[in-house]
Amino acid sequence: MSAKKSSALLIVGHGSTVNPDSSAPTLTHASEIRRRGIFADVACCFWKEEPSLRDALLFFRDPAIHDVYVVPNFISEGYFTRTVIPRELELTGPATKRANGQTWKYCEPTGNHRGMTELLLQRARAVAPDISAAETTLLIVGHGTSLNDNSAVAAKRQAEMIRARGEYAAVLNVYMEEPPLVSDWRALTQTRNVVVVPFFVSDGLHSHEDIPVMLGINSASHPPSANPHQLQGRSLFYSTAIGTEPKFADVIIEQAEAFDPQRREPDSAS
- pTM attached to this predicted model: 0.89
d(CA 270, CA 59): 40
CATH match for 113-243 among 3.50.50.100, 3.30.70.3280, 2.30.29.30, 3.40.50.1400: 3.40.50.1400
DSSP for residue 157? H
Asked if residue 2 has pLDDT above 70, the reply is: no
CATH match for 4-111+245-262 among 3.40.50.11900, 3.30.70.3340, 2.40.10.220, 3.40.50.1400: 3.40.50.1400
pLDDT 10s digits, 199-239: 998 877 777 789 999 999 987 667 888 899 999 899 999 99
Q: Give the β-pairing of 170-175 and 193-198.
A: unpaired
Angle at CA of residue 31, ends 27 and 33, nearest 5°:
115
